[in-house]
Amino acid sequence: MSNLIIDEGNSRCKAYVFENNAIVARESGSEISDELLFGLANKHNVSKIISTSTRRAEFALPKEMQHISHVRLNAQTQLPITIDYKTPETLGRDRIAAAVGAHSLLPETNVLIIDMGTAITIDFVDNQAIYHGGIISPGATMRARALNQFTRSLPLVELPADSELTGKSTNEALQFGILNGIRFEIEGYISRYRHHYEGLQVIVTGGDAELIDHKRVSILFEPDLVAIGLNGILSNLNR
């Protein structure tokens, strides 16, 4: 018996199948079709499903799958961590799932979770399994588009793989400004948290994770962090 994990993000949709806490199948795209979900459920004998979506309030399963136990992650879902947040009903479900994933990978550890997606989120879970909140910042593409759309003469630039401190052209000034701004921002947060929390570990996920200079900061990359967290939430409900 397997768990089906459905994660509808701002830019990508992902579906995973877990057996005994190990990923045995994964699919992703701009959309995930009902046919693909039904195929995964049949092939892997799925018995339980958990879903989260940043696109709509409730994810609806295809008719052929509505007999399968389905949990829609929300503010009332029982979690293996404690949420210490003033407005839990507005807390992004992907942030909740990533926090649970980080806790399951590094229990009894102070963990900083950095999700490099459409937006950049940085969240903190302490060694007592308490989620304390974090920050939301514009992602790389959002920064590039904002500089183009809110000025009269700045072009929309593609981001290079690396950057220098000083741009020698307007394009380079934009590219390096965006990349260095993100890197310095993240390095600053990591430094501050490590100053305040002993033994802090850092986990990075998201499509733009490669923008972080891992040579300058000690971090763990986990591209499937949200899925691991969703599977952990589903498993915790079944105990």
Total Cβ atoms within 10 A of residue 124: 22
Strand-pairing partners, residue 114, are: 122, 204
* Band (61; pLDDT cuts 50, 70, 90): confident
Q: Helices 140-149 and 170-196, interaxial angle, to 10°?
A: 140
- Residue 94 annotated among the catalytic residues of the structure: yes
AA identity, residue 238: N
Report the alpha-carbon distance of residue 123 to residue 111 in Å, rounded. 8
34, 84, 94, 224: which is the annotated catalytic residue?
94
Phi and psi for 141 in degrees, rounded to 5? -65, -40
* Band (75; pLDDT cuts 50, 70, 90): confident
- 239 has a pLDDT exceeding 70: no
- 54 has a pLDDT exceeding 80: no
- Mean pLDDT of the region 76-90: 94
Q: How many helices (H) and strands (E) does the chain have?
A: 5, 11
- Mean pLDDT of the region 1-21: 89
For residue 156, is it left (φ>0), alpha (ψ between -120 and 50) or beta?
A: beta
Tens of pLDDT, residue by residue over 13-46, are: 899 999 988 999 999 988 888 899 999 999 999 9
- 58 has a pLDDT exceeding 80: no
Report the alpha-carbon distance of residue 78 to residue 92 in Å, rounded. 15
pLDDT for the residue 216: 67
Whose CA is closest to 98, among 197, 233, 207? 233
AA identity, residue 199: G
CA distances from 176 to 114, 179, 198 (A): 21, 5, 32
Tens of pLDDT, residue by residue over 169-209, are: 999 999 999 999 999 999 999 999 999 999 999 999 988 88
AA identity, residue 20: N
Instruction: CATH 3.30.420.40 in the chain: give the residue spans.
Output: 1-72, 76-239
**Where does 76-239 sit in CATH, by number?**
3.30.420.40
- Mean pLDDT of the region 208-232: 86
pLDDT for the residue 96: 94
- 217 has a pLDDT exceeding 80: no
- 12 has a pLDDT exceeding 90: no
Domain 1-72 in CATH: superfamily? ATPase, nucleotide binding domain (3.30.420.40)
Which residues, other chains included, contact 11 with Cβ-Cβ below 8 Å and sequence gap of 6+?
30, 117, 118, 207
Report the alpha-carbon distance of residue 126 to residue 147 in Å, rounded. 36
CA distances from 10 to 84, 98, 118 (A): 25, 15, 7
Report the alpha-carbon distance of residue 190 to residue 66 in Å, rounded. 43
Mean pLDDT of the chain: 91
pLDDT for the residue 215: 66
Q: Is 18 helix (H, G, I), strand (E, B) or coil?
A: strand
Tens of pLDDT, residue by residue over 85-132, are: 999 999 999 999 999 999 999 999 999 999 998 899 999 999 999 999
pLDDT for the residue 222: 94
